[in-house]
Amino acid sequence: MKKDQKRFKQLQLIKDCNNFNELIEQIDYSSGNTDDLTTVVLDYMDKQTVMLYYESLIDSQKQSNLLEWMSEMFWKTEELPDTLDVKQQGPNLSIAAAINILLSGETLIVFNDGDTWTITSIKSLKVFQRSLQEPKNEQIVRGSHTGFNENLIVNLNLVRSRLKSPHLVIKYFTIGSYSNTKGALIYLNDIADPMHVEEFMMRLQAIDIDLAFSVGYIEEFIEDSNYSPFPQFLNTEKPERTAGNLIEGRIAFILDGSPTALLAPVNFFSFYQSPDDYNGRFLVGTFYRLLRIASFLIALLLPAIYIATISYHFEIIPEDLTLPAKRAVENIPYPPLVEALILELTIELIREAGVRLPNPIGQTIGIVGGLVIGDAVVNAGFISNLMVIVVALTAISSFVVPSVEMNTTVRILRFPFMLLASLFGFIGVAAGLIILLVHLIKLESLTSPYLSPLAPFHLSGIKDTFIRLPASKLRTRAADAQPIKKNRYGRNRWWKHAKK
Amino acid sequence: MQKNSITGWQFCFLTLQTQMGMSALSMPSLIANKAGQDAWISMILGGLIVQVIILMYMWLIVRCKNSSYFDFLAIVFGKVIGKFLLLLTILYIIFIMILVTASYQQLITDWINIYTPGWIIVLLLLIPSLYLSIDSISLIARFSMLISFLIPVLLIVVLFVYAEPQFFYLLPIGSEGLDSIIKGVIPAIAALSGFEMILFTSHFLKGNKLAGLKKGMIGSGLVTLIYIYLIISVQIFFYIDELKIVPYPVLYIMKALSLMIIDRIDILFLTFWIIISTAVCVNYLFVAGISMQSLFNLQAHRHMIMVTITSIMIFIGSIFIDSKIEITEIQNQLFEVGVGLVVLIPFLTLIFSLITKRLGNN
């Protein structure tokens, strides 16, 4: 190869080539003699033209049309038809730039009549894409069932068609030195805080990686704290959830190849909101919001409270329950912590096994694991039936969260609490809870406070976090995104109070 | 800039939490020992005196302008005496914290974790406190505000007393005589200690200083009202002779209460009370950090080291006190001396700054 380099004189610009053979040689050399770079040469008398493309990137159907047109044009010297996405390139196009154009899925057509080079590029990228489906991990009862797919343009279309406003701004980024993946930052320029937009752009530009693997991978390079167990960016596969967050003044990032939008700045309670809350009646929405917050506490603390009660504070069990509880726990050979760990880890195993398996088998595993093991383990006398109730309730509660990242966080976090409970009882749990609370207060998402409507406290923030008031009352935006326009809309339902 | 300032309401809750965590659970019997069945009158008087002290603080803070109280001491008295007075204040803060941790530790080991060694309880209190107090004042104020939801819980649980109130335990009003009522004012003020937080953190207030200070006053006033409510509730539940020997009357009220799903509310409540005690530790640790910075003229990034050193001292001190001295005996006396200190030194500073016409930096 080194020998080759010495012999081969590399040229910089296309127009420096003497003839087509040299041009093809140059491009072939610069692209590493890859086999999928195809060249088609038409040569008659003094007229010459060449078409170059990566056959692995282009749409073969388009290409055959193109070939037809090219030959027609070659003979009749007509302009290329308008229907094609044609771009004239300047005469000073370098070889490296030409290869970049080819890599982005365009076809290059080069004419040469004597000494002038005419270079034309035509978009012919073939994209294979999945049809739009409902995201499996964000299923809702009512409302739009469309989800993002892996194509950036399709995803942007889904967002823009929901927010047809001149204020919706999309900024493109290219990430990954090898993958050259395109990403798009989306925000509403008259609502989103410019400081946040600038910060987000700065963090994206600071990324220096080889392969932009997925949005979740990129998230680790731009989030505020790597070591926190809590996700600081909200992932969603639903366009209307994205649009709803954009209108609150948040910023979205979509990466080509990932069916996910990354939203920031978010607060802790954003992870507990679901589009379903807005589709039903407000009382129902409020009830489920409260239920989800309660599920967070149950999933986090119930095993710990149970362990602490059984091993330290038996006296808090009311009199009527003392005997049944005592009977259940008495003959168990293990301390409550070991008992809980065995069962919790079993549940985690069942879950992990169920995720990877195809649907029908996954369900079978769930039944075998949950029912059979649960029943057998109690009958064998390893684990008390109270513990089975506690662990099952905990597992169900942890799956209530409408966000995948947050529910894994909660499931991991309950283990330290169980340990604290078995070592120090209630006091240990309380100390752990304080550390968790302080951590949440310290945590930031895109430099805005994570526990926002609670710390710092905003009374107006409560109306769309813990509870959901009727939509006509939600007239101001959430404060944590620090939107420029505080008000969402004017007074609705005025006819209700208008004089008859 | 944003991180080193607090709003008026945050200031209010900062003061409120510091005062509440000190002795809300044990205060009724301490006062009743002196003032008998007129303890609640002593509390009212004590609260009024504290408000007057806060007014004096406000005058002083206005003269401080933008410098902190700790820096202002050196401005008014010159370097040597100023630093000496600052040292006294720091010692007071450390002693108060040792008392808070030691008495909390004793309460927990008496009440729920009988077999857990005391130093572990102290660690469980100090480690979360340290984790927060190394950070900025705005986060600490947010924490104080966030945990305030526990106070309504306390008030509601105590409300159960009013199912069968024995109001005649309060009668006849004033029967103990003016003498013992005034004697009860001193432990009442000691129970309200923590109001000095207004003086120590006022330079973080953003915007209109006077408006912020008024919010601080409201916070302190709220504590007084809550305490009066607690004392009256306790007094109509226990006969006065009972009250004098019951160490934590509020907890005993809860112990008598039994719900359908939980039997001993007092245990659960005490567990969550650790959060309030943590707030006190956090606030005082933070103040200890900034005052030591001022004493040794350190840069702001040394705050973390100062706070860590302070908490180690407190840890050692509270273990020592636990093993050597009966806390309840010295508690009152030391509190009284300490309160004298935080009233006297600011008063002298105010007088001196008025005489010498020295003002703080802008």
Cα(B162)–Cα(A469) distance, integer angstroms: 35
What contacts 24+ positions apart, CB below 8 Å, involve A196-204? Answer: A196/A251, A196/A264, A196/A265, A196/A446, A196/A447, A196/A448, A196/A481, A196/A482, A197/A251, A199/A446, A199/A447, A200/A251, A200/A253, A200/A264, A200/A446, A201/A171, A204/A173, A204/A175, A204/A253
Would you state the pLDDT for residue A251? 95
Under CATH, what is the fold of the domain B2-356? Amino acid/polyamine transporter I (1.20.1740)
Please give the interface size between A and B, counted as residue pairs whose CB atoms are below 8 Å apart.
93
Residue A300 tokens read as: 């986090």
Q: Which residues in chain A have Cβ-Cβ distances shorter than 8 Å to B139? A: 441-442
Which among A204, A200, A182, A180 has a CA at the least distance from the CA of A192? A200
pLDDT of residue B222: 93
Residues 6 or more apart from B170 whose CB is under 8 A from it? Answer: B37, B40, B232, B235, B236
Measuring CA to CA, which residue among B86, B68, B92 is closest to residue B340? B92
Return all residues near A148 (Cβ < 8 A) that are at least 6 apart: A132, A135, A154, A155, A158, A237, A238, A239, A254, A259, A260, A261
B10 half-sphere exposure, CB direction, 13 A CA radius: 24
Chain-chain contact of B263 with A316 (C-beta, under 8 angstroms) = yes
Q: What is the pLDDT of residue A1?
A: 44
CB environment B181-190: b (16+ within 10 A), e (fewer): bebbbbbbbb
Give me the pLDDT at residue A460, please: 83
Sign of CA dihedral A377, A378, A380, A382: positive
Q: Which secondary structure element, helix H or strand E, spans residue A123, and what is its range?
A: strand A116-123
Q: Pick A430's closest partner by Cβ from B116, B146, B272.
A: B272
The average confidence (pLDDT) of chain A is 86
Least Cα distance to A466 among A247, A287, A244 occurs for A287
A340 — contact with chain B (CB < 8 Å)? no
Listed by start position, the domains of chain A span 2-123, 136-266, 278-449
B261 close to A (CB below 8 A)? yes
What is the model's pLDDT at position B1?
A: 37
In a mutagenesis test of the B interface, which of A227, A426, A480 is the best target, namely the one with the most B β-carbons within 10 Å?
A: A426
Rg, Å, chain B Cα set: 20
Q: Are B68 and B290 in contact (CB under 8 A)?
A: yes
Distance of CA B179 to the CA centre of its chain: 26
DSSP-based three-state secondary structure for A419: helix
The per-residue pLDDT for B329 is: 64
Residue A353 tokens read as: 């096994």
Q: Which residue of B has its CA nearest to A313?
A: B112
The string over B297-310, giving b where at least 16 C-beta atoms fall within 10 Å of a residue's C-beta and e elsewhere, is eeeeeebeebbeeb
> Is the Cβ of B272 closer than 8 Å to some Cβ of chain A?
yes
d(CA A203, CA A201): 5
The whole-angstrom distance between residue A98's C-alpha and the CA centroid of its chain comes to 33
- Give me the average pLDDT of each 10-residue run along chain A (500 residues): 54 74 83 86 76 86 78 65 70 82 86 74 82 86 88 92 93 91 93 93 94 91 92 93 92 93 91 88 91 93 93 86 86 89 88 81 79 85 89 90 87 93 92 94 91 85 86 84 85 81
Cβ distance A318 to B268 less than 8 Å, yes or no, reads: no
- pLDDT average per 10 residues of sequence, chain B (362 residues): 77 91 82 84 92 92 86 87 90 86 85 85 92 91 90 87 81 79 86 88 86 91 93 87 84 81 83 88 92 86 87 87 63 71 87 84 74
On whether any CB of chain B is under 8 Å from the CB of A319, the answer is: yes
**Residue A78, pLDDT score:** 57
- Determine whether the interchain pair B261/A318 forms a contact, defined as Cβ–Cβ distance below 8 Å: yes
Query: Are the beta carbons of A342 and A386 closer than 8 angstroms?
Result: no
Provide the residue count of chain A.
500
Domain-by-domain residue ranges, chain B? 2-356
| Nearest chain A CA: its distance from B267 CA (Å) | 8
CA atoms within a 13 Å half-sphere pointing along the CA-CB vector of B349: 35
Burial zone of B15 (CB within 10 Å; 0-12 exposed, 13-18 middle, 19+ buried): buried
pTM for the full predicted model: 0.89
Token pair for A77: 């010297």
